A and B are shown apart, each in its own frame.
Chain A
């Protein structure tokens, strides 16, 4: 880092940002509970952004260009070329972020061994319900950002993921669990639920769909659905579409969410992440985006790592009879248009106190149609969202 900054100063480059990333990662790939391959990753990279103030007849503009650089004999040439590239555009003028408070880093402890132990102990060999394979990865990344305004911050965050495939009576189910610190209680819950799901799936009936049946979507798919509304407050939509957000919805971004894989303490510009309300009481409070987006929006734009969507009123007791879709494959929400579609892997039909597992059928619809959110909320990796959503205009092809 120091070597790069010295060269920048020597070249009389006055506006810059240097971001250093150091990664230590471990990965384990298992077939059943036998280790197929173990991997270790160690890397260090530098990304430099050079800013240029460009003077027009009446106004000032800002140009900027970034590149990955290596500390070798090409460094000086690379930085000079980058400085030239930054002069090629005229964006609205802004000042770089100033000094930010250095906060204490989160403790970063490996939980990989404990997680692998839980996986091994949760699926005893010889039982009908078996673990077909699993992959575990864990990564600790340290980011150091320095800019020409004196900003100098460092943060470390852990993140990982566990993917596993289960089999019961010839039926397979694939699960994905992302985490920050590797919360073992959450992992045990995911395993228990996965076991229940694969057993239900082995007994599932072909979905027969009645158009008058209310359809709820619950679990992780709700995070994808809610992300559409969060993105209405981003630079992707130029800040012009927030009135598409349903009445009563509250959207917040959170700097920290327990066990999230996205607890980055600072954003890419080195600004401290904050808890901020983006949308509440049908009013736009803030946008989410980069520091530079604040210039374009002329309103604060905050980084979005973790988010919370609330404001619903519905309870599951409001529905006498309903289809609750809990597992979707080939599921996608278009963040530009709000169109969603997916294949039902597992749903539960609730009727007169009886719960029947069902499978197959394809869903589609638009999030610009009416949507009803549940009052209870549920936390997933980096989001807190309604426990379920009711989509009155969903289309099901079964």
Chain B
């Protein structure tokens, strides 16, 4: 058993970070600094090669935020060896940006005022075993060779393991926070001539993830071969059951992105006008909660109810947006890395479980489909309007699940149509921590999605 702490690099520089804050506060109204680090190893085993690289999104650095007469500026950098040098760089870069602002005659947006509550938190996670790279490579190569020989139709198999140690430390005039955790992800891709199936699994654990790998590989192989024989579905509106992954994907992509309040502030979402209104069946309660103690603006995470019994309660806020809109941050101010701007981002978004068994849900359908997500990409659906999700559909006939597979099936009902027509929510529930959310062109960020099985009606084609 090993303790995972905030990385030593930040622990050794907490005093320097505090000095930077103190010195800049003498010149400006307020200041904070966050250090973010993600480091680790990425192993790829494919039919062509085996390679070891830095983990996905590996980076380490700092971001200083200053508040000057109600307006703010950020300076991101990756070496903190001399406090005075950093302070001078912040001042010089701020002045350079101010000069451009004056040249343009640009007005600042309304002043902001940040939360000043006192707080101190620290986290320590635990893992069973540290990374043994030789064991990982040997295991992945063995699985890849076995899969390649498993069926004549299988033409390729690629396996990846990404092991990263993530840390962040935040210092302001009111708080000193630090946290650290391990994140390990495996990706499996199996392909035939016409089909490809990609599945992932991510745990806040170490190499013990390999214990789960065989089941994931089996699922990929089974699905890719099923897709080879899949039929075309007749267009129509059907009784459907969405599996937990599809439910989660819709909560995130189709509903959640428009519930990010910085998007409302920028005029890219109209979710504000839905607050207090019925957006889903009374059986639906949707929440967002972080796997972190504090977000990238030093706000402690709390569970946020997006939808409660079908009513849209509120969206998700970062600190600046919350301040401009006169509310409190929901602790969703997140950065992809130290150099990225903090914006409102989801954490783990899911629908709470219900009290009907999946068996009962299937039995209630005389003709319909059990839908599973077929895609690995993430695309944001704007304004809760129509969507296009490619699914795999397993036919339900006379209350029984059959072996008939239909794919690709296009689900085109809007998320509001789907949520409003939910008439059963399962007691079975799954969460997936590997979902990668890319907002615009920013770097991907790990989020969690999931939920129960949902029975609803959907347009398929």
Contact = CB atoms under 8 A, between A and B. Distances in A.
Given A34-B106, A88-B134, A362 B410 contact: yes
Contacts of B266: 31, 132-133, 165
B72 A395 contact: no
Interface stretch (B165-173, B302-310, B378-386, B444-452): B378-386
Given A40-B97, A47-B54, A112-B100, A35 B386 contact: no
Given A25-B339, A37-B72, A38-B73, A343 B381 contact: yes
Interface string A79-123: 000000110111110000000000000000000110011001000
B196 A341 contact: no
A66 B54 contact: yes
Given A66-B54, A165-B267, A334 B410 contact: no
Contact of B387 (A30, A41, A44, A343): A343
A296 B49 contact: yes
Given A331-B379, A364-B388, A37 B459 contact: no
Interface string A12-53: 000000000001011101110111111111111101000000
A31 B47 CA distance: 49
Interface of A: 23, 25-27, 29-31, 33-45, 47, 64-68, 70, 85-86, 88-92, 112-113, 116-117, 120, 132-133, 161, 163, 165, 167, 172, 174, 176, 178, 235, 238, 240, 292-293, 296, 329-332, 334, 336-337, 339, 341-343, 345, 360-364, 368, 395, 397
B52 A334 contact: no
Contact of A330 (B41, B134, B387): B387
Contact of B108 (A34, A116, A174): A34
Interface in B395-442: 408, 410, 412, 440-441
A238 B109 contact: no
Nearest to B235: A397
Interface stretch (B76-84, B179-187, B208-216, B344-352): B76-84
A162 B72 CA distance: 21
Contacts of B22: none
A66 B381 contact: no
Contacts, number: 201
B375 A34 contact: no
Contacts of A165: 266-268
Contact of B73 (A37, A64, A89, A90): A37
B267 A37 contact: no
Most buried by B among A36, A86, A165, A167: A36
Contacts of A132: 266-268
B390 A364 contact: yes
Given A27-B341, A362-B387, 20 more contacts: A36-B109, A37-B341, A39-B73, A40-B93, A41-B75, A42-B77, A64-B52, A65-B53, A66-B52, A66-B54, A68-B54, A68-B58, A85-B52, A91-B49, A117-B104, A161-B441, A174-B382, A330-B382, A330-B387, A363-B388
Contacts of B459: 397
Contacts of A293: 48
B341 A42 contact: no
Most buried by B among A31, A40, A91, A363: A40
Interface in B120-157: 133-134, 137, 155-156
B96 interface: yes
A231 B59 CA distance: 28
A235 B158 CA distance: 12
A52 to B, nearest CB: 11
Interchain residue pairs A-B with the least CB separation, the first 7: A132-B267, A133-B266, A336-B196, A65-B52, A89-B50, A40-B93, A362-B412
25 contacts: A31-B265, A33-B107, A35-B71, A36-B320, A38-B101, A39-B341, A43-B76, A67-B41, A88-B50, A88-B134, A113-B100, A113-B104, A116-B100, A116-B104, A120-B104, A172-B268, A176-B440, A235-B48, A330-B380, A331-B379, A332-B377, A337-B196, A362-B387, A362-B410, A368-B194
A39 B388 contact: no
B104 A336 contact: no
Nearest to B74: A39
Contacts of A167: 267
Contacts of A70: 60
B282 interface: no
Contacts of B94: 38, 40
Contact of B191 (A37, A117, A235, A336): A336
B97 A26 contact: yes
B134 A174 contact: no
B191 to A, nearest CB: 6
Contacts of B52: 64-66, 85-86, 88-89
B461 interface: yes
Given A88-B134, A292-B49, A364-B410, A341 B390 contact: yes
Contacts of A92: 49
Contact of A395 (B77, B380, B461): B461
A29 B109 CA distance: 10
Contacts of B93: 40, 42
A385 B10 CA distance: 48
A71 B267 CA distance: 45
B135 to A, nearest CB: 10
B103 A113 contact: yes
Contacts of B49: 89, 91-92, 292, 296
B387 A397 contact: no
Interface string B252-273: 0000000000000111100000
Most buried by B among A25, A133, A161: A133
Contact of A35 (B48, B101, B341, B382): B101
Contacts of B222: none
B39 interface: yes
Contact of B106 (A43, A116, A332, A341): A116
A215 to B, nearest CB: 15
A172 B77 contact: no
Contacts of B268: 132-133, 165, 172, 174
B39 A238 contact: no
